[in-house]
Amino acid sequence: MSSQTVANVVPWRSGLLSELPGVAHALTGRVEGLGLADGNVAFSAPRDKADAWAMRRHWCAASDFEADRLVTLGQIHGADVHRVSAAHQGRGARPGSEHLGLGDALVTADPGPVLMTLHADCQPVLFVDPSRRGRGPAVAVAHAGWRGTVANVVGQTLALMMAAFGTRPADVHVCLGPAIGPCCYEVGDDVARAWHDLAGVDAPSALARANGRRHFSLRDANALLLARAGVRADHLEVSAICTRCEGERWFSHRGQGAATGRFGAMIAVADGGSAGW
């Protein structure tokens, strides 16, 4: 993984996606003592919106993004995907601004907008179609908790990229970023049944038992769904970071409670500006 530092924040980046021209991405994180809530970028209560906006600007500066270009959703743990145009940049960026809509994934081929989803254990998924067969890159980001995973939000994201941009899944590069690992993600029978209904005979690949309890792997489940959709194994990077185990660097709902902050997963197509974004 590669990163760069501005002040005391270090965005996380995928080695795979960093090699692709014409796009940029970054994940924010948790930094103890940064702002009022350790670098949180979410506006929802009980977090302070003014502080979260300051943190969005701070992390964006470290990532060579402009915070006023952010586009966000009201996340609902589902599989609704929204297409973003250049006219949408700034939707949900500042406190009080209206987000683009309700859903859990964003796609665009337009330069300018910085797509962002928010996470605290749920799986961030970053997509890049590098060229669309010579027409320039397209990008996407998805938020995949267990509900979004069993609703196949990654498959729905690829389906919209195919319909909107002519994307071929075999061309797409995907990074599954830091999320809660199966070591810490104990789930009930409802999750196991929902995953079995979707994955069928392959369901055990993302489920395990430890001390008589079920554990679910978001990364393994989404990797399976991406492979089924046509993403090549050599075009997939999977982070081994567990956000609960590494709670000093990442926000974790399971590890820190519901009032904890959120980190952001951001991605954009280059627009030729001074920093390229």
Weakest mean pLDDT among 12-21, 43-52, 204-213, 215-224: 204-213
Is 229 a residue whose pLDDT tops 50? yes
pLDDT in tens, 16-44: 999 999 999 999 999 999 999 999 999 99
CATH superfamily of this structure's domain 15-269: CNF1/YfiH-like putative cysteine hydrolases (3.60.140.10)
CA 154 to each of CA 17, 109, 120: distance values in angstroms, whole numbers, following the listed order: 17, 17, 18
CA 50 to each of CA 53, 79, 89, 109: distance values in angstroms, whole numbers, following the listed order: 5, 30, 20, 31
pLDDT in tens, 4-14: 444 578 999 99
Taking the model in full, what pTM does it have? Answer: 0.95
pLDDT of residue 271: 81
Alpha-carbon distance 25 to 137, whole Å?
13
Is 3 a residue whose pLDDT tops 70? no
pLDDT of residue 5: 45
Domain boundaries of the chain, sorted by first residue: 15-269
pLDDT of residue 177: 98
pLDDT of residue 210: 82
Average pLDDT across the chain, whole number: 94
Buried/exposed code over 173-193 (b: 16+ C-beta within 10 A; e: otherwise): bbbbbbbbbbebbebeeebbe
**Mean of pLDDT values over 250-263:** 97
pLDDT of residue 274: 36
pLDDT of residue 276: 43
Q: Is 203 exposed, middle or buried (0-12, 13-18, 19+ CB in 10 A)?
A: middle
